[in-house]
Structure 1
Amino acid sequence: MSYCRVIQNMTGAQQELHKTYHDNHYGYPIHDDNELFGRLIMEINQAGLSWETILKKEAGFRKAYHNFSIKKVAAYTEADRERLMNDAGIIRNRLKINAAIENANTILALQKEHGSFEKWLESHHPKTKEEWVKLFKKNFRFTGGEIVNEFLMSTGFLPGAHAADCSVYAKIIKAKPLWHQPVKKASAK
């Protein structure tokens, strides 16, 4: 069952929390590298937990990780790691915290080489989910199949975030997600 349908069966505060994310964020292209990094942090932290838990802690993640500033997170010290391990506003898992810091450093290197994290992602379009997973596992920490799939669907690089009959689907198409763009052919020289 799609996320679009699951939300319809929810009620009250639970439905409102998910509906806000579904209607305004899920599947829309993100053009800000810090926000892309933030979504990656959230997807990594969701592993083994419910997405609802992550949505409830989003403000905590933003605060703890300096509003997802790639440069600031990349410079975190051992003291920052301990601060994060003691922060009840986030998921206190050393592997996930270390992954966020290591991935920030990876993104800085990709920005230096490609101009931005987004441009690095675009340079690999199109890929199948399996090809993306292999690429992410080669470059990033704590990025298995579900994490990579959800990260790429939620940021407009892979299709599937919304059912075609979902009211948000047309808005997503208007936002021009990369998965819906024609593939550019390499020019012959």
Structure 2
Amino acid sequence: MGVDGPYASARRVVLRELDALLRHVEEDVCADLMAALRDADRVFVAGAGRSKLSAEGFAMRLMHMGLSVHVAGDSTTPAIGPGDVLLACSGSGETPTVLVMAESAARSGARIAAVTADVDSRLAQRADLLVHLGEYSQDHEPGRSGQFVGTLFEQGALLFFDSLILASEQLWETEPQAMLARHTNLE
């Protein structure tokens, strides 16, 4: 104990970078996104790789809150249309499958909410709502991270989504028991 090894040093970098990233997300952007999701007929989430995993976790929690939610690409996903929102999560904002889904959803009349690290990406340009999760170093230096490329975005997306759920539980006065009643019993 007491020796500050590589794990402790790495942990500090990760936590400081996540704090720097999440501090830059504006409160009104969060409120607009959650209002759009709450008011949608249905919410669809899309992503690829680890970004998809973050989005799928968010979809689960939205379902627990009582929203009608689908993961794009699943075999039971219905057609998207007017009144629906596609939440597309892509660090680069250029992931081909995510771009195709966003274009298809837009042509079908759905709104697009994008969570991305690149505000100049095609996904960001296509979005009706945009959440920017840019990379920051532990010293709050924009555009820099000590972690492998994309890692900070994916971690940040997961924590951003979990923060939105906790805030929404409080704002919407969601009963934990109601959420628990929607939790799967097929485990």
Shorter chain as normaliser: what TM range? under 0.3
Which structure is higher in helix share?
Answer: 1
Q: TM-score, normalised by structure 2?
A: 0.26
Q: TM-score, normalised by structure 1?
A: 0.26
